[in-house]
A and B are shown apart, each in its own frame.
Chain A
Amino acid sequence: MIKFLLKGLVRDRHRSLFPILIVSFGVLLTTVLYSFINGELNDLIDSNARFDTGHLKIMTRWYNTLASQMPNDLALTGSEKLMLSLRNKYPDYDWTARIKFVGLLDVPDKNGETKAQNPVFGLAVNLFGKNSMEVERLNLGKSLVRGRMPEKPREILISEEFAKRMNTGIGQPITLISTTSSGAMAVQNFIVCGTVKFGVAVMDRGAMITDISDIQFTLEMPDGASEILGLKKNKFYDPAEAEKIKIDFNSAFIHANNQYSPLMVTLEDQNGLGEYLDYINTVGLIIVGIFLVAMSVVLLNTGLMSGIRRYGEVGVRLALGEAKDRIYKSMLYESVLIGFAGSVIGTCFGLAVALYLQEFGIDITETLRSSSIMMSNILRARISVASFYIGFIPGLMATLIGTTFSGIQIFQRQTASLFKELEA
């Protein structure tokens, strides 16, 4: 019977082409939209975790209240000992110390006087550590535009855009002017050994990356760190687990009446990310939901239209003595075949578009030029398991439901009046 129905569908294009096209298009749009929202959500988590928040972060309580000012006079001390205990207690996470600072970068001319000057955001990470994952985490190797990675102390990376603006090149000396942890002026000469394109507008505007030991020396923070980041070794953020670890860690310091005692926060506790992620998630679900409902209505209507269009055909079949339930069943089977074919085609094309957007994305560098959100310059989709069925199921079900309703009229038709209807 399936073979017979397939033949019918292939031979009568009016019955198959248009409905399959509609189903395919709807499924394609749903798959792409879902994958795109999924990609953006993941990108936001990933960019923030790698560059700023970690999956978990430890700061002093006081630093946490003023974190946006990067107050290194309130930074953690004894960071190595703390990291050692964290590595033992929570081995699924990679724990790493960072110092964030702001200052001025000054490029000298041949007389040692200022040639160019710009405010800078600095990130000091463990670049030289044997087991450090920071180079990979910040994607520094692949982001390198010119020069090479720092190999010895006092070598830094700066963003390519920043280097162009400052008119400085590889091997050039550059002076950092910042503030020590005691509030004094800190000045240190560095050599630019490479330029990078971070792909995050906030960083590309003016950032420098250096080894943490250089900044500990310059800002007079021996064994100090602005923050200790914990990132899940398998790279996937697990909010429930992070929350559990946070509660466990903080319970040890709950009675400490000291503003310098460490405090652990999760990714969602920082920069309003929790609310933001909830918001994007909800809005994303609403958009996909509305789209699914709209698509289902269109497909349902297609099923209904198809049923109504075949009013005459059904009449002839009834007149020839075909049983009502057999006609109804054959129409349902046909709708399943159409829905299945449309959903497969739509899902395949949808996944292809999503894959393209996942690999190449949409460049929004210009839009983000003045943005302060830690997000990628390229909007990318992300294909997940749900991408395979998010459009497929409604594509299949809606045509079936449409035909189910439109086919009910078969049972309401009287054989006695069929010829009258057909004559008319």
Chain B
Amino acid sequence: MKIILAFTGIFITFTITGFAQVPSGTDVIKEIDKNLVLDNAISFTTMIIHGRNGSRSIKSKNWIEGKDKAFVEYTDPAREKGKKMLKLGDQLWNYFPEPIDRIITISGHLLRQSVMGSDLSYEDITENRKLMDMYNAKVTGSERINDRNCYVVELTAKREDITYYRRKLWVDKERWIPLKEERYAKSGKPLKRSELLEVFSIENRWYPKRMLHHDLMQNGEGTEYIIESIILHASISESQFTKAALKK
């Protein structure tokens, strides 16, 4: 009897340990959301667009509050300085300073257009929704990426209106941050690929420092997105997320 109990105990222990070693897809994306979804923050970023005729960089200051509000102001180079972008829910406005002096609405399928000729779309650049709210996840294996152990996680959209119907992530097992990602259309056609080149730690979370994005529909060399600095839980005035702020 003792032997049977001992074996049963050992079996249960191994089983529990085994399950604990491979988390569920939901657990993985919950951990990713903890790292990447911000309540409110102010960041300074540089976007280096590697085109067929060379590279160009664009600097910006970004304000973000929850999943629905974002504001971007381009600060450099001179030809982009003063251009602004405001996102409120599903709507997005671009402001072009003098001599154009226009506020232009970007909505619907135009949100999928490239920002400043980069490999990122308006949706990509202002996205702050939780993966948990958008996707069902499944861990399909383990691989090593850049000498780090990763879970391979496949995400499938919960709703039809989500731009990338399927995503494949290689998630760092210790830091819970995707080191590589592929995004697909519903047809299975690959649309975007991104790699995380550098990460940094801030307030007990890992956050991307430098990423390389490729729009697979374009023939460019990709776009680097660098977060120069970020202030979490920043105090942001409500007036920052208004159309009036665009013309200020």
Contact = CB atoms under 8 A, between A and B. Distances in A.
B102 to A, nearest CB: 5
A106 B104 contact: yes
Given A175-B104, A182-B51, A187 B56 contact: no
Interface in B42-60: 49, 51-54, 56
Nearest to A109: B103
A126 B116 CA distance: 28
B52 A175 contact: no
Interface centre among A71, A184, A189 (most CB of B within 10 A): A184
Classify chain A: how many residues form its interface, as a range.
20 to 34
A187 B117 CA distance: 13
A114 B107 CA distance: 11
A184 B102 contact: no
A113 interface: yes
B17 interface: no
A184 B53 contact: no
B190 interface: no
Contacts of B52: 62, 71, 73-74
A112 B94 CA distance: 12
Contact of B102 (A62, A71, A108, A182): A108
B53 A175 contact: no
Nearest to B114: A179
Contacts of B101: 112
Interface string A178-209: 01111111011100000000000000000000
A183 B104 contact: no
B110 interface: yes
Contacts of A184: 56, 79-80, 116-117
Interface in A188-241: 188-189
A113 B219 CA distance: 33
A179 B118 CA distance: 11
B99 interface: yes
Interface in B85-114: 93, 96, 99-105, 110, 114
A177 interface: yes
Given A185-B116, A185-B117, A106 B102 contact: yes
A407 to B, nearest CB: 71
A187 B116 CA distance: 11
A327 interface: no
A120 to B, nearest CB: 13
B208 interface: no
Nearest to B99: A189
A183 B220 contact: yes
Contacts of A175: 96, 100, 102, 104
Nearest to B79: A184
Contacts of A185: 80, 83, 115-117
A256 interface: no
B51 A183 contact: yes
A86 interface: no
A187 B79 contact: no
Classify chain B: how many residues form its interface, as a range.
20 to 34
A66 interface: yes
Nearest to A113: B103
B219 A66 contact: yes
A181 B53 contact: yes
A104 B114 CA distance: 13
A187 B118 CA distance: 16
A183 B104 CA distance: 19
Nearest to B116: A185
Given A74-B52, A108-B102, A114-B104, A179 B110 contact: no
Contact of B100 (A113, A181, A182, A189): A189
B115 to A, nearest CB: 8
Contacts of A71: 52, 219
B99 A113 contact: no
A183 B117 contact: yes
A181 B54 CA distance: 11
A187 B93 CA distance: 14
Contacts of B115: 185
Contact of A177 (B49, B51, B104, B219): B104
A183 B100 contact: no
A79 interface: no
A104 B99 CA distance: 18
Nearest to A185: B116
Contacts of A108: 102
B61 to A, nearest CB: 18
Contacts of B110: 104, 117
Contacts of A187: 96, 100, 102, 104
Interface string A2-33: 00000000000000000000000000000000
A114 B52 CA distance: 32
Contacts of A189: 99-100, 102
B47 to A, nearest CB: 11
A397 B99 CA distance: 75
Nearest to B77: A184
A188 B51 contact: no
A179 B52 CA distance: 14
B49 A183 contact: yes
Contact of A112 (B56, B79, B103): B103
The 4 closest A-B pairs by CB, nearest first: A183-B117, A114-B105, A183-B51, A113-B103
Given A112-B101, A113-B102, A183-B51, 8 more contacts: A62-B52, A73-B52, A74-B52, A114-B104, A175-B104, A182-B51, A184-B79, A189-B99
Interface of A: 62, 66, 71, 73-74, 104, 106, 108, 111-114, 117, 175, 177, 179-185, 187-189
Interface of B: 49, 51-54, 56, 79-80, 83, 93, 96, 99-105, 110, 114-118, 219-220, 243
9 contacts: A73-B51, A108-B102, A113-B105, A117-B104, A182-B53, A182-B54, A183-B117, A189-B99, A189-B102
